Amino acid sequence: MNRVKNIFLVVHIVLWTLFSLLVALQLGGEGNPRWFATSIGFTLTCLYVFYGHFFLLTYHSGKIKKRDYFFIRAGIMLSGPVPFLLFRYEKLNAWNLLSESYFMLLISAVPIFMLLSWLARVTENLVLNTIKKEQLEKQAVEAELYYLKSQINPHFLFNTLHNIHTLVYKQAPAAPEAVLHLASLMRYMIYESNAPTVPIAKEIAYLQDYMNLQQLRYKQSPVVDLKIVGDTSACHIAPLLFIHLLENAYKHSPARLNPGDLKVSVEVQKNNLTFSVQNPVDKHPAHNLNDPGGIGLPNVRKRLALLYSGQHTLKVTNMVDTFSVVLNIHSLQSETHEG
């Protein structure tokens, strides 16, 4: 905002400098012996009328009654020609010339610069209000993104800590590795996910830590069949965008899963990304949900609309035995671009 105000200040200085030079050149070319004093007086009159009204509109708009505003404006207009008269005439006793010059300025230059000051004030207000509105909208979007990004189910952490406690109590060999996965997951959530975008490879590593911790619930081989195609370090993506989809895949699957029941695929081709999740549907869910995707899908939809408007497609397929989500994001950039 201050930068825009400084730009307006520079514009004012440049325009008034050019105007003063043009007035001096015009009067000097007419052979007027007092052209220099006259040009200064005329410029001062224009400055006084312009900024007197400009100041009135800037600092007193809405703070004084309309009647007082019109009185002050009338005072500025009536006193506007005075600087010109003081510089134009050596002695203020030539009443005929004095009155002619006074009324000539009063009906010509004074109204013009009153109008110009009003236009300048309206223009600056319009620009500043537009920028302020954009800043407020940006802050609102950033606040919503922060809220959406923080909506990871806290029950997962409690369940994971409980599982790790059980492993430690049983002195299971997997306990130290589970603690490392949890530490990696928390570090990513707290620190690395604060960046606007991250390499897709980091997001996948985060998902793998999540899968490894969830795997503590199952004794058999990994229940997730993860496929990765393409260079996942080439493109960047908003962090914590996939976790809700994966979390819901676990949440709404049957309690007992066979190896490879959850199918997760990440495919990167140039600047296009395809992420898909498929899980079996629990025919006897603990909670009746209208949307099998729970809160995850609305969350993802909102973030995608804010971050990748016009750059993505999200396809949800709800079959009798399976539920799948396919997300495609195109035109990904290597530099950050969120918020």
Which pLDDT score is estimated for 178? 84
Domains annotated on the chain, with CATH: 2-139 (no CATH), 151-329 (3.30.565.10)
Residue 253 · residue 282 · CB < 8 Å: yes
Residue 48 · residue 164 · CB < 8 Å: no
For 196, other C-beta atoms within 10 Å of its C-beta total 15
Residue 297 · residue 291 · CB < 8 Å: yes
- Token output for 285: 């869910």
Answer left, alpha or beta for residue 317, where phi above 0 means left and psi between -120 and 50 means alpha: beta
Q: Which regions in the chain score pLDDT beneath 70?
A: 1, 61-62, 90-98, 142, 145-156, 159, 284-296, 334-339
How would you write the chain as a 3-class SS string? CHHHHHHHHHHHHHHHHHHHHHHHHHHHHCCCCCHHHHHHHHHHHHHHHHHHHHHHHHHCCCCCCHHHHHHHHHHHHHHCCHHHHHHHCCCCCCHHHHHHHHHHHHHCHHHHHHHHHHHHHHHHHHHHHHHHHHHHHHHHHHHHHHHHHCCCCHHHHHHHHHHHHHHHHCCCCCHHHHHHHHHHHHHHHHCHHHCCCEEHHHHHHHHHHHHHHHHHHCCCCCCEEEEEECCCCCCEECCCCCHHHHHHHHHCCCCCCCCCCEEEEEEEECCEEEEEEEEECCCCCCCCCCCCCCCHHHHHHHHHHHHCCCCEEEEEEECCCEEEEEEEECCCCCCCCCC
- Tokens 């060999």 appear where? 173
Which amino acid makes up residue 287? Answer: H
pLDDT tens digit string along 93-103? 666 566 778 88
User: What is the C-alpha separation between 194 and 204, in angstroms, rounded?
Assistant: 16
Which pLDDT score is estimated for 94? 61
pLDDT tens digit string along 156-205? 677 678 878 888 887 888 788 888 888 888 888 888 888 888 899 999 99
pLDDT tens digit string along 192-243? 888 888 899 999 999 998 898 888 878 778 999 999 999 888 889 988 888 8
- Token output for 331: 């035109």
Which pLDDT score is estimated for 293? 42
- Tokens 């899963």 appear where? 257
Which pLDDT score is estimated for 145? 64
